[in-house]
Amino acid sequence: MKTIAVVDYGMGNLRSVAKAVERVVDKQMHVVLTDDVKVIAAADRVIVPGQGAARGCMHALREHNLIEALLKAATEKPFLGICMGLQVLMTHSEENKGTGCLDVFDGEVHFFGNHAELQSSQYKLPHMGWNRVKQQRRHPLWRGISDGARFYFVHSYYVKPQDADVIVGTTDYGIEFTCAIARGNVFAVQFHPEKSADEGLKLLNNFVHWNGQS
């Protein structure tokens, strides 16, 4: 029996992610919502979802003693970050007057509202709703998902990695921004697969069968 750990640090849509993953697993897979570092260490795959603010997220991860466990998981097993689970993988976020993050990927998290292009009434913040994702390069988690497929977003901040080679998906919302990154065994997205109907379930299905190689 293979275990997929959905990390529970008390923020956001954790149960809805776990329920969505349960819809795509087979009988040889078990989904567990947990903050137990031993369960996370023993799991075959790890998913880090979440909503909220960067500082609150990092505080919750520390309070649950999850920092070391997540950093280790990000080096050795298939790892999926969703929404805040993407943003905290970066070095630093502008949110809350500046917040240090996990530094798995070199880069920053920026506020949409700082862009003049987004200060017209056409662009509401947070960026909320369905938007197209342009696949910047092939990846096993895009398998069976058409380029330009729509996914569901809810966010006011976006990531800007230093290394453009890690960018696997972008979206246009007044500016083109990175919405998916990947390197080695890590894949992380700004959108919510669990809220993205068939395409989101397909991505989750790809993840639970992924061997962590790109």
Q: What is the pLDDT of residues 9-21, one digit of tens each?
A: 988 778 999 999 9
Grade residue 32 by pLDDT with cuts at 50, 70 and 90.
Answer: very high
Domains defined along the chain, listed by start: 2-208 (3.40.50.880)
Grade residue 97 by pLDDT with cuts at 50, 70 and 90.
Answer: confident
Residues ≥6 apart with Cβ < 8 Å to 55: 93, 95, 96, 99
pLDDT digits (tens, 9 = 90+) for 139-174: 999 999 999 999 999 999 999 999 999 999 999 999
Query: Is the pLDDT at 51 greater than 90, yes or no?
Result: no
200: left (phi over 0), alpha (psi -120 to 50) or beta: alpha
pTM greater than 0.85 (yes/no): yes
| Annotated catalytic residue within 57, 95, 194, 199 | 194
179 carries an active-site annotation: no
194 carries an active-site annotation: yes
| Annotated catalytic residue within 57, 83, 101, 179 | 83
| Annotated catalytic residue within 101, 110, 192, 199 | 192
| Gap between the Cα atoms of 2 and 25, Å rounded | 10
Residue 15 in tokens: 């149960």
Query: Is the pLDDT at 193 greater than 90, yes or no?
Result: yes
pLDDT digits (tens, 9 = 90+) for 108-118: 999 998 877 77
pLDDT of residue 96: 84
Query: Is the pLDDT at 6 greater than 80, yes or no?
Result: yes
